[in-house]
Structures are given as C-alpha cells and as structure tokens.
C-alpha cells in the first residue's frame, strides 16, 4: 500500500515563501510545522481561518458529513481504470433530492488534459 504524505508547500523556485504557515494531518505522526487532527470535530480547536483537507475517500466523506466543507476543488483525468479505490465514502445523503442544490459550480477549466472544477456550498445547504 502506497502512503500519501502531502507537504502542502510551494516548491517553485522563488515562490517558496508562499507555502502554508501550518498544515494539518490525520497522519500518525505530526507533520513538520503542522498539527495532527484525527476527526473533523478537532477542527474547532484549531487557530486558523481556513483549512485545506487532502485525503482519501473516508477523510473527504467525514468532513462533508460534518458540514465543514464550503468549497470543493476537484481534479479529474480523462481516463477510466478498473479496480481503483473509491473517491468518496458515505456522506450521509440518502436520496437524490437531498443532494440537489447543495453545491454550485463556480469555476471549471482544463489543466493540460485534466479538468479542474471548483464547487461552492449553496447558502441553503449550510443551514
């Protein structure tokens, strides 16, 4: 099993100072310069105005289920392969009617062959 260890830092020459001041992770070990969080409920104890969550299907689902996501940034490749891992776990929506109008597409563009989309939570979904 391959482990993902995102640094969330800027590695472009001359722009290294644009890196995030702190990172948060659900990793077993504390990331350099960051804090470890093991559940969405721990976000309330962080001293930050915004949080970038990068993780697998269960991490994404847990933040969505807790209502802590106000922007989704999705990257999609133009290929399909079989036998992969799910991109999202159970987010607590049981019907299509519950899912409609929760997110609004606010940006979409091609990045090379990949598609990048940004969705923002609609005001009625944050109530």
Q: Choose among 70, 44, 58: nearest CA to 125.
A: 70
User: What letter would DSSP give residue 82?
Assistant: S
Which domains does the chain carry?
A: 1-54 (no CATH), 56-127 (3.40.430.10)
Helix (H, G, I), strand (E, B) or coil at 60: helix
Q: What is the mean pLDDT of the chain?
A: 78
d(CA 101, CA 88): 19
**Whole-prediction pTM:** 0.67
Lookup: tokens for 71: 């922007």
Greater pLDDT, 34 or 23: 34
Q: Contact at 8 Å (CB) between 85 and 61?
A: no
How far apart are alpha carbons 102 and 67 in whole angstroms? 11
Query: The tokens 């979904």 sit on which residue?
Result: 125
> Beta strand 23-25 with 34-36: parallel, antiparallel or unpaired?
parallel
Give, rounded to a whole angstrom, the gap between the first and last alpha carbons of the chain. 39
- The string of pLDDT tens digits covering residues 57-100 is 888 889 899 988 999 988 888 888 888 777 788 888 888 888 88
Q: Distance (Å, rounded) from C-alpha 125 to C-alpha 65?
A: 12
Which pLDDT score is estimated for 2?
Answer: 47
């Amino acid at each position: 099993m391959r482990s993902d260890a995102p640094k969330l830092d800027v590695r472009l020459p001359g722009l290294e100072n644009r890196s995030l001041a702190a990172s948060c992770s659900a990793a077993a070990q504390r990331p350099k310069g960051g804090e470890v969080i093991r559940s969405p409920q721990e976000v309330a104890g962080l001293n930050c105005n915004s949080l970038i969550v990068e993780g697998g299907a269960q991490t994404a689902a847990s933040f969505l289920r807790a209502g802590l996501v106000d922007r989704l940034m999705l990257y999609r490749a133009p290929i399909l392969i079989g036998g992969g891992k799910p991109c999202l776990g159970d987010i607590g929506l049981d019907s299509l009617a519950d899912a409609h109008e929760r997110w609004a597409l606010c940006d979409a563009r091609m990045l090379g062959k990949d598609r990048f989309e940004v969705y923002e939570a609609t005001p009625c979904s944050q109530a």
